[in-house]
């Protein structure tokens, strides 16, 4: 079309309409593309090998099969999971980027980090509650405490002398034990380590006497008789440790209704379309119903927890104020 032809207003309008039709047609075609039409990504805010990573890979494998699309695992550790969670929160809200969240990133971190760069409720659309991992309260086998009542009595008789280990300030093992202390008014000395493994090593050596953490790191030593399991944090006994009572069963004052399991779930950036969230939730729950996935979770000491996005959102809403109270009461701060 020549310059003179463009001088005609009718021709100019026709050209503009033609140019506009291209991106509009493309947008329409994209809107109609079935989800997912490209690979998905699950951000794990911790290093490879931990429970968050194992669960993400188990679920990612099943989502990949269901959607016939690769599901990439992206480990983004740092700041107690906050770096990875923030990256997920700021990703496009299209369902292609998900966060493997857990009790720390979605419930405890708001109280630990005053300048948290994301909001666990406003920054995310809960997708699926995947699993809970009960914590087990164990002592060195040489300690003269054979149940929770005896341990609490011993701690009150020797205030501040019994030491408990954790994977670090603000870790699940730290906050869980502080919750037990708050409920029972018992006194224990906290010794933070750089990870769960060294805390278990020192417990076995008798450098610390108590540990309250996830079952996978403890089970072999319990079975070998090197550690004595006194109680579990879940509302019911565990199939792996059927003879170990729950904390709530102990009869210790302040422990009625005690529950302090670690939990894990998928979240998408806020604003992700509801139909995409629903589809993801349905496929995750379908995976959690399979024996293969349940076996994989059981190997991590995890129990599958299929639920709706709304139920997962309610869990997060309940947990945030509860752990904020524990952090405040114990004056927990991170390094």
Show me where the domains of the chain are located: 40-133+262-330, 135-250
> Does the pLDDT at position 158 exceed 70?
yes
Tell me what the mean pLDDT of segment 19-33 comes to: 48
Tell me the pLDDT band of 32, cut-offs 50, 70 and 90: low
pLDDT of residue 19: 47
**How much is the average pLDDT of 230-242?**
93
- Give the pLDDT score at 334: 85
Instruction: Write the pLDDT tens digit of every residue in 268-290.
Output: 999 999 999 999 999 999 999 99
The string of pLDDT tens digits covering residues 312-334 is 999 999 999 999 999 999 999 88
pLDDT above 80: residue 203: yes
- Give the pLDDT confidence of 95-104 residue by residue, as tens digits: 999 999 999 9
Q: How far apart are CA 78 and CA 139, in angstroms?
A: 30
How many CB atoms lie under 10 A from the CB of residue 34? 7
pLDDT at 26 exceeding the cut of 50: no
CATH architecture of 40-133+262-330: 3-Layer(aba) Sandwich (3.40)
Banded pLDDT at 335 (limits 50, 70, 90): low
123 contacts 94 by C-beta, under 8 angstroms: no
* Distance separating alpha carbons of residues 95 and 74, to the nearest angstrom: 15
Q: Mean per-residue pLDDT for 128-155? A: 96
The per-residue pLDDT of the chain, averaged, comes to 90
Q: What is the mean pLDDT of residues 178-196?
A: 95
Alpha carbon separation from 283 to 216, 259, 286 (Å, rounded):
27, 28, 5
% of the chain at pLDDT higher than 70 = 90
| Fold topology of 135-250 | D-Maltodextrin-Binding Protein; domain 2 (3.40.190)
List the one residue out of 36, 34, 55 whose CA is nearest residue 297: 55
Name the pTM for this structure.
0.84
- Which residues face 267 on adjacent strands? 99, 126
43-60 pLDDT per residue, tens:
999 988 888 999 999 999
Q: Tell me if domain 40-133+262-330 and domain 135-250 are identical in fold.
A: yes
pLDDT of amino acid 139: 98
Model confidence at 89: pLDDT above 80: yes
The reported pLDDT for the residue numbered 3 is 47
Residues 6+ apart with CB under 8 A from 29: none
Query: Quick one: 91 exposed, middle or buried, by C-beta within 10 A (0-12, 13-18, 19+)?
Result: middle
């Amino acid at each position: 079309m020549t310059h003179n032809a463009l001088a005609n207003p009718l021709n100019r309008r026709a050209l503009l309409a033609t140019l506009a039709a291209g991106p509009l047609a493309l947008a329409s075609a994209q809107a109609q593309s079935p989800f997912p039409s490209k690979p998905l990504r699950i951000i794990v805010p911790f290093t490879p090998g931990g429970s968050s990573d194992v669960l993400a890979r188990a679920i990612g494998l099943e989502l990949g099969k269901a959607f016939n699309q690769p599901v990439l695992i992206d480990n983004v550790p740092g700041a107690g999971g906050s770096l990875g969670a923030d990256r997920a929160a700021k990703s496009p809200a299209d369902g292609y980027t998900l966060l493997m969240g857990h009790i720390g990133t979605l419930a405890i971190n708001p109280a630990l980090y005053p300048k948290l760069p994301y909001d666990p409720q406003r920054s995310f659309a809960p997708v699926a509650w995947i699993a809970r991992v009960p914590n087990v309260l164990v002592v060195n086998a040489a300690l003269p405490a054979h149940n929770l009542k005896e341990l609490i009595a011993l701690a009150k008789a020797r205030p501040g002398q019994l030491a408990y280990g954790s994977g670090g300030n603000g870790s699940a093992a730290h906050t869980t034990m502080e919750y037990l202390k708050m409920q029972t008014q018992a006194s224990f000395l906290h010794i933070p380590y750089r990870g769960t493994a060294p805390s278990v090593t020192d417990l076995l050596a008798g450098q610390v006497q108590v540990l309250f953490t996830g079952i996978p790191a403890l089970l072999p030593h319990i079975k070998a008789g090197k550690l004595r399991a006194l109680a579990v944090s879940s509302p019911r006994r565990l199939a792996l440790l059927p003879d170990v009572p729950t904390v709530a069963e102990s009869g210790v004052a302040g422990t009625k209704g005690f529950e302090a399991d670690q939990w894990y779930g998928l979240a998408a950036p806020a604003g992700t379309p509801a139909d995409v969230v629903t589809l993801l939730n349905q496929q995750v729950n379908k995976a959690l119903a399979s024996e293969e996935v349940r076996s994989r979770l059981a190997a991590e000491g995890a129990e599958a927890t299929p639920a709706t996005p709304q139920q997962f959102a309610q869990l997060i809403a309940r947990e945030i104020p509860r752990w904020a109270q524990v952090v405040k009461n114990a004056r927990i701060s991170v390094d």
